[in-house]
């Protein structure tokens, strides 16, 4: 319960700063500009305003999400490292820290795989249109 409170507090403190940690251009490469999404957005009533298109909005949302998840991963890694270093030979704490490290690394691998797959799929769809 205490870990949950610490992680929640850290996430809430880091949330306002997450957009500053990422560069939106990387996420914009994911959806590109001038794609079929602009056509769909225009048909749905989303018009461009001051250079803001549907693809830019989607790219910004992806960038914010990836930045937030990166911050959570970093917090988990730091917490697990601190737990391990302060275990003082307690095997239960060491095993808990190893579990947190393993889970967070697996989560990061899943996150990066999802980004790579979505980049691959969207870029191939854009090239075929």
* Counted domains in the chain: 1
What span, in angstroms and rounded, lies between the C-alpha atoms of 41 and 121?
19
Who has greater pLDDT, 36 or 71? Answer: 71
1 pLDDT higher than 80: no
pLDDT (0 to 100) of residue 117: 79
Average pLDDT over residues 95-112: 90
pLDDT of residue 62: 77
For tokens 């001051």, name the residue: 50
Tens of pLDDT, residues 28-67: 455 555 566 666 666 776 665 555 566 667 767 877 888 7
pLDDT at 103 over 60: yes
Average pLDDT over residues 94-123: 85
**How confident is the model over 66-76, as a mean pLDDT?**
87
pLDDT of residue 80: 93
DSSP H or E segment with residue 125: helix 91-128
> Collapsing DSSP states into helix, strand and coil, what is residue 36?
helix
What is the average pLDDT score of the chain? 74
Domain that includes residue 39, residue range? 2-128
Radius of gyration over every alpha carbon of the chain, rounded to an integer in angstroms: 19
At residue 99, does pLDDT exceed 80? yes
Residue 35 has a pLDDT of 60
What is the distance between the terminal CA atoms of the chain, rounded to a whole angstrom? Answer: 50
């Amino acid at each position: 319960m205490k870990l949950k409170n610490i992680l929640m507090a850290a996430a809430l403190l880091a949330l306002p700063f997450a957009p500053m940690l990422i560069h939106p251009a990387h996420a914009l490469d994911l959806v590109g500009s001038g794609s079929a999404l602009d056509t769909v957005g225009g048909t749905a009533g989303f018009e461009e305003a001051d250079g803001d298109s549907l693809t830019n909005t989607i790219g910004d949302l992806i960038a914010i999400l990836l930045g937030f998840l990166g911050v959570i991963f970093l917090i988990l890694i730091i917490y697990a490292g601190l737990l391990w270093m302060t275990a003082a030979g307690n095997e239960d704490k060491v095993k808990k820290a190893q579990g947190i490290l393993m889970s967070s690394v697996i989560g990061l691998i899943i996150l990066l795989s999802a980004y790579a797959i979505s980049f691959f799929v969207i870029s191939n769809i854009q090239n075929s249109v």
